[in-house]
Amino acid sequence: MRTFDPRRYTGFFTITLACLFILYAPLAVVAVYSFNDSLSITRFEGVSLRWYQDVFFGLEAGKFRTAAWNSFTIAIMAATAATMIATAAAIGMVRGGNFKGKPASFALISMPIMVPEIVTAVATLIFFSAIGFSLGYVSILVAHIVFCIPFAYLPISARLQGIEATFEEAAQDLYASRWNAFRYVLAPIMAPGIMSGFLLAFIISLDDFIITNFVKGAGVETLPTAIFGAVKQGIKPDIMALSTLLLLFSILIVTLSYLIGRTGDAKNPE
């Protein structure tokens, strides 16, 4: 007779709690200290919103606003472009039959994930300087589109692999054109995957520091490069307030993505 449950191991629950504690403690501490009513970042002296006011209206507010604008516009455009490219690629790979260059094609599409970020940054900088492409907003955007493609591709192709081909084949048997079979049959079923791909690409673009730092040139900043520059002079309370705002924004996006993924599963026709 068995005397124990082979699924249970003593201590694993404690380690899981420790894992979550480690993951959240630094973020929670910064969020708490961003409400600190004191110039000192060491002592906590009462709750206030003064650092949030500082982020929006303080001395450096203009710099942060421009950086935030750059970050968000680049992230939206890069994620949109990457999602369109990745959706087409996913259909070509998953629904394009077997072809000779398939492994090579997959390797090329996942190349931005395989190559270390710093190497991508160096290669892109060298390339832009060699072809005389001036560094700035556009060079950041181009670099972001490239590394966002595999992040959009993975959830989209995963979703597409779970959809039976009978749907678009039935549509085509009923004389729908290939485009209409995609537009009215395949795209609605793929939508949750496309949306997750877009959100992942959006977050990855917003998150990027290293590649942006290399290809941004002088004068153009995104939020991560602006924060990095500020942190080099020490962690000030307004940076903590700004970080907390970005933190909340990320949590909002991931919650959205989680909910979309769940409704997607519920509607899955399988």
Residues 76-135 that bind other proteins (CB under 8 A): 84-86, 88-89, 91-99, 105, 108-109, 111-112, 114-120, 122-127, 129-130
Q: Which one of residues 251, 263, 267, 268 is an interface residue with other proteins (CB under 8 A)?
A: 251
Report d(CA 127, CA 184) in Å as an integer: 41
Which residue type does 248 have?
L
Closest CB to other proteins among residues 220, 240:
240
The Cα–Cα gap between 240 and 234 comes to 11
At position 88, the amino acid (one-letter code) is A
The verdict on 254 binding other proteins (CB under 8 A) reads yes
- Kindly state whether residue 39 participates in binding other proteins, applying the rule CB under 8 A: no
Please, which residue, 12 or 184, has the CB nearer to other proteins? 12
Quick one: which of 50, 60, 72, 228 contacts other proteins (CB under 8 A)?
Answer: 228
- Residues in 44-83 at the binding interface with other proteins, rule: CB under 8 A: none
Amino acid in the structure at residue 259: L
Of residues 55, 227, 241, 260, which one binds other proteins by CB under 8 A? 227
What are the structure tokens assigned to 15, written together? Answer: 């380690």
- 55, 156, 240, 241: residue in contact with other proteins (rule CB under 8 A): 240
24 binds other proteins (CB under 8 A): yes
The smaller minimum CB distance to other proteins, of residues 59 and 97, is found at: 97
* x-marked contacts with other proteins along 154-193 as a string, rule CB under 8 A: -------xxxxxx-xxx-xx----x--xx-----------
Q: Is 11 exposed, middle or buried (0-12, 13-18, 19+ CB in 10 A)?
A: exposed
Q: How far is the CB of 57 from other proteins (least distance, A)?
A: 22
Q: Which residues, in sequence order, are bridge partners of residue 140? A: none
Coil/strand/helix, residue 217: coil
Number of residues that bind other proteins (CB under 8 A): 103
DSSP for 4-65 reads S-TT--TTHHHHHHHHHHHHHHHHHHHHHHTTB-SS-SSS---B--HHHHHHHHSTTHHHHH
Q: Based on CB atoms, which residue is closest to other proteins, 70 or 213?
A: 213
CA distance 246 to 55: 12
Closest to other proteins by CB, 12 vs 69, is 12
Count Cβ atoms below 10 Å from residue 234 Cβ, excluding itself. 8
Output 54 or 240, the one with its CB closest to other proteins: 240
- C-alpha gyration radius of the chain: 23
Q: How far is the CB of 140 from other proteins (least distance, A)?
A: 12
